[in-house]
Amino acid sequence: MIRTLQSAAELEQLLRTSRPVFILKHSTQCPISAAAYRAFQRFAAAHPRSAEFRVVQVIEQRPLSNEIARRLGVRHQSPQALLVHRGTVRWHASHWDITEQSLAAALGRAG
């Protein structure tokens, strides 16, 4: 299940978990982001127990989106998918590189 990432405190908690965590930075105003979000939804539905899935609405949650970039050391883009495992960014992609196949490949390498 995809949940909305609500706060920097929740981000810190997710960074401490032993499970892989996918974070999607999503813009409700961008058609490329809409396509990435659909791929993210399909992947999450097909792999519900493989990872935690969070989404950040970059327009509505700009400070949190900026905090993710600062905390993880990955330049902000939108749409942007990140895979974090044990507090470290293992993979990130943006725009048309966010596909079910790229998410699956990233999860396979997260181990």
Expressed as residue numbers, the domain containing 80 is 2-110
How many structural domains are present in the chain?
1
Residue among 37, 33, 53, 35 at smallest CA distance from 107: 53
| pLDDT the model gives residue 26 | 95
Contact 77, 95 (CB under 8 A): yes
| Count of positions (residues) in the chain | 111
Q: What is the CATH number of the domain that holds 93?
A: 3.40.30.10
Q: At what angle do helices 8-16 and 62-72 cross, to 10 degrees?
A: 30
Mean pLDDT by groups of 10 residues along the chain of 111 residues: 96 94 96 97 96 96 95 94 95 96 93 63
Token pair for residue 86?
A: 């044990």
